[in-house]
Amino acid sequence: MTTVRAILHRYPAVSPAIVLVVSVIVFGLINGRFLAPTNLSLITQQVAVIGALGIAETLVILTAGIDLSVGSAMVLSSIVIGNAATGMGMPGPVALLVGLAVGLATGVLNGLLVTRLNLPPFIVTLGTLSIFTALTLLVSSGATVQGDAMPSILTWTGLTVSVLGVDITYGVLITLLLYVVVSFALARTAWGRHVYAAGDDKEAARLTGIRVSGVLLSVYLVAGAIVGITAWIQIGRDFGASPNAATDANLSVITAVVIGGTSLFGGRGNVWGTLLGALIVGVFRNGLALAGLDVLYQTLAVGILVIVAVSIDQWIRKVRK
């Protein structure tokens, strides 16, 4: 067991990968429609938004922080994009850039409050969650912007392309590209090493010459940029911008990150584990639905997964003591 614990500590994505493979096999045996190309396409589309936001959340949690506002920030960005294009008559690319700027601004706000005022990330993002939600309702007046009223570039992420017989949206491909870029940055750049160091032990990182506050601010900036991109993916996914979209995104994103093996105490984990976590949540919800179980049991299963994942994380951390 000591060897197993050491392996899981070194490779956090191993356990969620095993869970995902076993889940796919079991649900495939329970219902033959689960492995049908159309159903696999549906799962990837459902996971795209949570998976993209999961990258932003993973970066924050790696620094021993947490962001409760990623979902509301994403909805705010999507509403701004939709209203800039339809209400203000901006060209599609300009409206998209404005929305990306809003996403970046949400990250700047969170980052400055955490690094400059030294406020706890939990409290900061709990407050900005309400702020972003209120701004969304203010900008949208509670109305949805339909996709057919927007320039085609804004709904382009919802178009599909066939990959190995499975229809994949461009939003899914953008999400995968984000994973590749951020994974490379974390594993192969000095910035990535500083992120891990700051999350593992801020004081030790400071003593080695790392500007911890600068690293934390940069993490929130990158997270904000990813939120803006995810808003574009969300518009394509729903073919519109709704203030009521992704109502449970905040919880689902944190769930995916935790199940994916990223430690809530910071310093351990990677984005690929988060992708596996998002897929596990998507597979469980879809598989249980095909099995004919009520949505109540789907939520119950996800809750159990979170508790098990945190328990495993606590067990793995003991290898270092």
pLDDT in tens, 263-286: 888 888 889 999 999 999 889 888
Mapping DSSP to helix (H, G, I), strand (E, B) and coil, where does residue 141 land?
coil
- Which residues touch 180 (CB under 8 Å, ≥6 apart)? none
**What was the pLDDT predicted at 60?**
96
Q: Residue 5 falls within a domain, yes or no?
A: no
What percent of the chain stands above pLDDT 90? 57
**What was the pLDDT predicted at 259?**
86
Q: Is the pLDDT of residue 320 over 60?
A: no
Half-sphere exposure of 96 (CA within 13 A, CB side): 18
CATH number at residue 151: 1.10.3470
Q: Are strands 240-241 and 145-146 parallel, antiparallel or unpaired?
A: antiparallel
The whole-angstrom separation of Cα 230 and Cα 73 is 10
Q: Is the pLDDT of residue 6 over 80?
A: no
Q: Residue 7 falls within a domain, yes or no?
A: no
The whole-angstrom separation of Cα 20 and Cα 309 is 13
pLDDT tier for residue 227 given thresholds of 50, 70 and 90: very high
Look up the domain containing 306 and give its range: 13-315
Q: Residue 4 falls within a domain, yes or no?
A: no
Report pLDDT digits (tens) over 46-76: 899 999 999 999 999 999 999 999 999 999 9
Q: Residue 3 falls within a domain, yes or no?
A: no
- Which residues touch 191 (CB under 8 Å, ≥6 apart)? 185, 215, 218
Domain tally, the chain: 1
3-class SS string, 165-200: CEEEEHHHHHHHHHHHHHHHHHHHCHHHHHHHHHHH
Helix (H) or strand (E) holding 211: none
Q: Residue 303 falls within a domain, yes or no?
A: yes
Q: Is the pLDDT of residue 321 over 60?
A: no
Q: Residue 321 falls within a domain, yes or no?
A: no
The whole-angstrom separation of Cα 220 and Cα 26 is 38
Give the amino acid at 290: L
Q: Residue 1 falls within a domain, yes or no?
A: no
Report pLDDT digits (tens) over 81-127: 999 999 888 999 999 999 999 999 999 999 999 999 999 999 999 99
Residue the block writes with tokens 């995902």: 20
Helix (H) or strand (E) holding 36: none
- Which residues touch 88 (CB under 8 Å, ≥6 apart)? 95
The whole-angstrom separation of Cα 185 and Cα 175 is 15
The whole-angstrom separation of Cα 302 and Cα 282 is 10
Report pLDDT digits (tens) over 231-253: 999 999 999 999 988 777 888 89
Mapping DSSP to helix (H, G, I), strand (E, B) and coil, where does residue 167 land?
strand
pLDDT tier for residue 305 given thresholds of 50, 70 and 90: confident
Helix axes 249-259, 37-62, angle to 10 degrees: 80
Global pTM?
0.91
pLDDT tier for residue 190 given thresholds of 50, 70 and 90: very high
Q: Residue 197 falls within a domain, yes or no?
A: yes
